[in-house]
Amino acid sequence: VKAERFPVSGRRIILRAKPNGLPKAEDFACETAAVSEPGTGQILVRVDWLSIDGFMAGRLKDQANYAPGVGIGQTMQAFGVGRVVLSGTEHFTVGDYVYGPFGMCEWALMEASPEVKKLDPSLGPPRLHLGMLGISGWTAYVGLFNVGVVRPGETVLVSAAAGGVGAVAGQLAQIGGARAVGIVGSEEKVALATSKFGYAAAISRHDSDFSNRLSAACPNGIDVYFDNTGGAIYDNILDRMNIHGRIVVCGRMANAALADSRQDIGPRDHNDILVKRLRKQGFIVTDYSSDFDRITRTLAALRAEGRLVLPEDIAEGLPNAPGALVRLLRGENLGKQLVRIGTET
């Protein structure tokens, strides 16, 4: 099957230098490269939207991670949604909306592997599959309910509460009958978290009275800490964890600037873990992929009922993708950070 116009070249974002601390836009370059026609078993995707996520910082480091990193000169990794424009496989048809690890590029030549998923347009605009109906939504759901085992009446504390995952987590915790409290990076986000994301209370981590405000916001202690950041704030939270509490280790945004996470030094937590019988557990959302279809339908139904929202922070055009990542890692985004590549809404 052939599309009407075949592009001979397209832009992509490559890694120019390993970041020293937090990545900067100058660590990346935008270059134009020829795009090949798909061979047998391959598809060519016109990328419409990219998702910008915290895990990307880890892919830029030399330290071992759960997935391979990005080498110098390679296309920066990213998940995206787009349309199939050429197909060398019966599994995809030209015009299909798809989601996959396309990387930061305008055109992606992909193997038709299980990593590339056909989207159901009836659930909403395709870009929702990068946020509320995709990684952000799945991560919030799995972290709260599969890993944290949140129960009605419990207090759930979420860090990075105004980010893509945190915004969904606050709403889902409340939908699950719990009381959600958020930690955010600015007073502007405090207002957003409490007015839009279902948080009963929110506190800026820069608040000079952080410790007392945290106590006031959690009068019954903390049953589940959904940790998107790590870092020094953890010690303060450990103090307030209830017996049999759960600490869900979802992200390490506070370490994004460190070359090696072992530079993040603090008191070892064994005493609190033991005395309070805490369970601290890390998770990678893709380990739960067999559950994604069910979770997606649940989230789409909540959205249709108007019970779940996720504001988007949109950067325009592929060349602005590195800047969007820098914004995210600095905590400057409000809601789900996306990059619009094409003209699709």
Q: What is the binding site for a copy of itself (CB under 8 A)?
A: 58, 63-66, 227, 230-231, 234-235, 243, 249-252, 255, 261-284, 287
Nearer to a copy of itself by Cβ, of 263 and 345: the residue is 263
Nearer to a copy of itself by Cβ, of 278 and 321: the residue is 278
Residue 150: CB minimum distance to a copy of itself, A: 17
Q: Which amino acid is at 308?
A: L
CA distance 240 to 218: 8
Nearer to a copy of itself by Cβ, of 197 and 225: the residue is 225
CA distance 80 to 13: 14
Question: Which tokens go with 132?
Answer: 């509320």
Nearer to a copy of itself by Cβ, of 8 and 274: the residue is 274
Question: Which tokens go with 4?
Answer: 């009407």
Nearer to a copy of itself by Cβ, of 35 and 250: the residue is 250
Residue 225: CB minimum distance to a copy of itself, A: 11
Residue 335: CB minimum distance to a copy of itself, A: 23
- CB atoms closer than 10 angstroms to residue 233: 17
Nearer to a copy of itself by Cβ, of 97 and 234: the residue is 234
Residue 221: CB minimum distance to a copy of itself, A: 13
Per-residue b/e over 270-287, b at no fewer than 16 CB within 10 Å? eebbeeeebebeebebee
Nearer to a copy of itself by Cβ, of 89 and 236: the residue is 236
Residue 58: CB minimum distance to a copy of itself, A: 8
Nearer to a copy of itself by Cβ, of 39 and 282: the residue is 282
Termini Cα distance of the chain: 26
Residue with tokens 């602005």: 320
Give the chain's radius of gyration (CA, Å). 20
- CB atoms closer than 10 angstroms to residue 88: 18
Nearer to a copy of itself by Cβ, of 111 and 269: the residue is 269
Question: Which tokens go with 77?
Answer: 């990794």
292 φ/ψ angles, rounded to the nearest 5 degrees: -65, -40
Residue 60: CB minimum distance to a copy of itself, A: 14
Distances (CA, A) of 258 to 252, 263, 325: 10, 7, 16
Distances (CA, A) of 12 to 69, 105, 114, 168, 243: 17, 4, 23, 30, 50
Residue 322: CB minimum distance to a copy of itself, A: 24
Residue 285: CB minimum distance to a copy of itself, A: 10
CA distance 295 to 145: 11
Q: DSSP letters along 25-80, please?
A: GGGEEEEEEE-PPP-TTEEEEEEEEEE--TTHHHHTSSS--SS--PPTTSBPP--E
